[in-house]
């Protein structure tokens, strides 16, 4: 990578924004984390970061790859879980950037998958990776992200999507009760409304209603802590239900794309209770697909334990774009 160009990467979620520079070897350095709610817009955050490092993008060549938690196919970016809206072209001009690449946050994670070492992921259950077969990624966090990676033309191709907004499909009486409870709040219930930080709270509230017990004003973190410590039966049932629902959803992804390259769980929620997750009904529900149970049983599942997969993927994407541009000169 050229020493004359400054390369910036960022992973922009609904809660946190992580931003860093790349050194001459493409490694991440000068990582800084921002709380999105403390800033009125994305430009303010990037301005602050550049000023902190004494970078003047109006006088220096700065390339940026920003991975963001929303669709990026139009010039106007309107974040799903954060009140930020902006034009990509205007942001590039206002910041004085040489190049601006914007990719979906789960597209970025997809770019990181094949560079993860064994210590950056944790296998749950059976199945073995089949080389060059499709890979699926989903991740509970502020929202529910989804992406896929496929092999074609002798390279890995990342395919983004918004699968987290697909319809929630209950498979037993308890889940039907959860669906009916959430239908009182929403005209349509998606998997994201169960498989996110807010989802944990909503499962808890629905189960309290279904079990006819008093609902406490617990946060998602409080619910998970009480479940792990076995201090609350409803909290324990909530987290078990969360894991089973995630298993069903991940299993659906596996069926849809025949993901024999593996299904990866990303996001900030699951790594916080990895032992509980491994012992939960996640894998059983992943495989429980009727006549196709044998199909999913062969597909491995992993939890990504690397703390910055989005930045790793944005880095890989930016490096590849720089290489492609150099080859075209």
Higher local confidence (pLDDT), 65 or 162: 65
User: Above 60 in pLDDT, residue 327?
Assistant: no
Whole-number average pLDDT of the chain = 93
Tokens matching residue 273: 């209770």
The per-residue pLDDT for range 64-94, each reduced to its tens digit, is 999 998 889 999 999 977 899 999 999 999 9
Residue 129's closest CA among 257, 246, 302, 271? 302
User: Above 90 in pLDDT, residue 28?
Assistant: yes
The per-residue pLDDT for range 102-113, each reduced to its tens digit, is 998 888 999 999
- Give mean pLDDT, residues 142-151: 91
- Binding site members for ATP: 10-15
What residues pair up with 107 in beta bridges, in sequence order? none
The per-residue pLDDT for range 190-206, each reduced to its tens digit, is 999 999 879 999 999 99
Buried b (16+ CB within 10 A) or exposed e, 80-118: ebbebebebeebbeebebebbbbbbbbbbbbbbbeebee
pLDDT, position 7? 96
- Give mean pLDDT, residues 245-252: 98
pLDDT, position 218? 95
Domains and CATH numbers, the chain: 5-104+308-328 (3.30.420.40), 117-305 (3.40.367.20)
- Binding site members: 10-15
238 phi and psi, to 5 degrees? Answer: -60, -50
pLDDT, position 329? 55
Going across the sheet that includes 61-68, the strands are: 28-35, 16-22, 5-12, 61-68, 99-104
User: Above 80 in pLDDT, residue 228?
Assistant: yes
pLDDT, position 71? 87
- Give mean pLDDT, residues 206-230: 95
What is the length of the chain? 329
- Give mean pLDDT, residues 21-38: 94
User: Above 60 in pLDDT, residue 325?
Assistant: yes
Asked whether the beta carbons of 315 and 101 are under 8 A apart, the reply is no
- Give mean pLDDT, residues 102-128: 93
73 phi and psi, to 5 degrees? Answer: -80, -10
Confidence band (pLDDT; 50, 70, 90) for 328? low
What residues pair up with 121 in beta bridges, in sequence order? 304
- Give mean pLDDT, residues 278-294: 98
Cα–Cα distance measured from residue 192 to residue 45, given in angstroms and rounded to the nearest whole number: 27
């Amino acid at each position: 990578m050229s020493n004359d160009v400054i390369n910036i990467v960022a992973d922009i979620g609904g809660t946190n924004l992580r931003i860093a520079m790349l050194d001459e070897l493409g490694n991440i350095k000068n990582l800084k984390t921002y709380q999105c709610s403390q800033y009125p817009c994305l430009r303010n955050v990037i301005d602050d970061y550049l000023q902190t490092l004494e970078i003047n993008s109006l006088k220096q060549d700065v390339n940026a790859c920003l991975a963001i938690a929303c669709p990026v196919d139009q010039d106007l970016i309107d974040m799903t879980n954060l009140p930020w809206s902006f034009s990509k072209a205007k942001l590039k001009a206002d910041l004085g950037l040489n190049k601006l690449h914007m990719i979906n946050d789960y597209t970025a994670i997809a770019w990181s998958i094949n560079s993860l070492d064994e210590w950056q992921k944790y296998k749950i259950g059976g199945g073995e990776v089949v080389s060059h077969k499709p890979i699926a990624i989903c991740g509970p966090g502020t929202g529910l992200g989804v992406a896929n990676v496929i092999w074609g033309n002798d390279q890995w191709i990342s395919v983004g999507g918004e699968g987290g907004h697909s319809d929630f499909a209950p498979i037993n009486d308890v889940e039907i009760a959860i669906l009916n409870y959430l239908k009182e709040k929403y005209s349509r219930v998606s998997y994201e409304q169960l498989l996110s930080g807010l989802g944990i709270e909503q499962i808890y509230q629905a189960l309290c209603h279904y079990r006819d017990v008093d609902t406490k004003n617990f946060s998602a973190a409080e619910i998970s802590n009480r479940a792990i410590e076995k201090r609350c039966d409803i909290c324990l049932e909530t987290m078990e239900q969360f894991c089973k629902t995630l298993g069903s959803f991940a299993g659906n992804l596996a069926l849809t794309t025949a993901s024999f390259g593996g299904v990866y769980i990303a996001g900030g929620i699951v790594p916080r209770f990895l032992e509980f997750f491994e012992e939960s009904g996640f894998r059983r529900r992943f495989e429980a697909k009727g006549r196709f149970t044998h199909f999913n049983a062969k597909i491995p599942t992993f939890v990504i334990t690397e703390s910055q997969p989005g930045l790793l993927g944005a880095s890989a994407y930016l490096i590849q774009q720089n290489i492609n541009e150099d080859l075209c000169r």
